[in-house]
Amino acid sequence: MSTHIAAKPGEIAGTILLPGDPLRAQFIAETYLENPRQYTAVRNIFGYTGTYRGKPLSVQGTGMGIPSISIYIHELFRDYGVQRAVRIGTAGAVQESLKLRDIVLAMSASTDSAVNLRRFGGRSYAPAASWGLLKTAWDMAVSKGWTPAVGNVVCSDLFYGDDGEEWKLWARYGALALEMESAELYTVAAKFKREALAILTISDHLVTGEQTTSEERQSAFTRMMELALETAVSPACPSVSP
């Protein structure tokens, strides 16, 4: 048991999918995993381990925002030896060229959070996805006839900011979408020398004001989950760099 996860040593697979929503973790476990077993329900953040296409795979919620995902991934990497983490989540598009339900592979994650300024003594760290996972996800998507957007996302601390226009500056510098967890996932993965990738679905659009309906979200999430599952267990994925 770690502080926030009730699993015993060995109960969490080396590869994990990380949705923000614990009920989505339960849905993925019950829908896609063979023989899923719940290993934690501490704070209703559910985690399950089973197999996918015969390979061990876990799925666990992270909650929303940097402080929440930070706690879970620290314990998953440090205490349970997780090697490969694929976040699946939603994001708000800041580029007109993106459409609702598009898939975004977060190559890098800028942030308005102060966590990395604090960690790095005022220096600007550039949180980035693991190349092997990014390439595998891209190749897998293309083989299905999909063309995800790939680029920089913005990991924001405030869903409800005071100035509703801040996203425009990020957009001018080419950011694709806003979300709230990837910068910390990439930074902590780098700290522990593990692999990480965030695969996101556009659920709302800051340029056009559009939002997905719940049916649209479900079908878009299905594509994203299948891409994440296949990427996570892919043998084609080269292991970690340095």
Which of 147, 159, 191, 219 contacts ligand HPA by CB under 6 A? 159
Q: Per rule CB under 6 A, is residue 184 in the interface with ligand HPA?
A: no
Distance CA 65, CA 62 (A): 9
Q: Which two tokens stand for residue 139?
A: 């190749």
Q: Per rule CB under 6 A, is residue 181 in the interface with ligand HPA?
A: no
Give me the catalytic one of 21, 79, 112, 204.
204
Distance CA 146, CA 103 (A): 9
Q: Which two tokens stand for residue 117?
A: 């300024």
User: Residue 82 or residue 225: which is nearer to ligand HPA going by CB?
Assistant: 225
Which of 102, 179, 184, 195 contacts ligand HPA by CB under 6 A? 179
Within 13 Å of residue 210, how many CA atoms lie on the same side as its CB? 16
Cα distances (angstroms) measured from residue 4 to each of 59, 189, 236: 15, 18, 32
Question: In DSSP terms, which residues pair with 103 in a beta bridge?
Answer: 201
Which of 156, 182, 187, 234 contacts ligand HPA by CB under 6 A? 156
Stretch that binds ligand HPA, among 46-54, 90-98, 107-115, 220-228 (CB under 6 A): 90-98
Nearest to 11 by CA among 32, 35, 31, 40: 40
Distance CA 108, CA 145 (A): 24
Distance CA 31, CA 60 (A): 14
Which of 36, 92, 127, 132 contacts ligand HPA by CB under 6 A? 92
Q: Per rule CB under 6 A, is residue 178 in the interface with ligand HPA?
A: yes
Residue 132 beta carbon to ligand HPA: minimum distance, rounded to whole angstroms: 26
Q: Per rule CB under 6 A, is residue 180 in the interface with ligand HPA?
A: yes
Stretch that binds ligand HPA, among 120-128, 144-152, 177-185, 232-240 (CB under 6 A): 177-185
Stretch that binds ligand HPA, among 86-94, 186-194, 213-221, 224-232 (CB under 6 A): 86-94
Characterise 209 by phi-psi region: left (phi > 0), alpha (psi -120 to 50), beta (else).
left
Annotation says 204 is catalytic: yes
- What does the DSSP 8-state code read for residue 148? -
Which of 21, 157, 204, 230 contacts ligand HPA by CB under 6 A? 204
Q: What is the binding site for ligand HPA (CB under 6 A)?
A: 90-92, 156, 159, 178-180, 203-204
Active site residues: 204
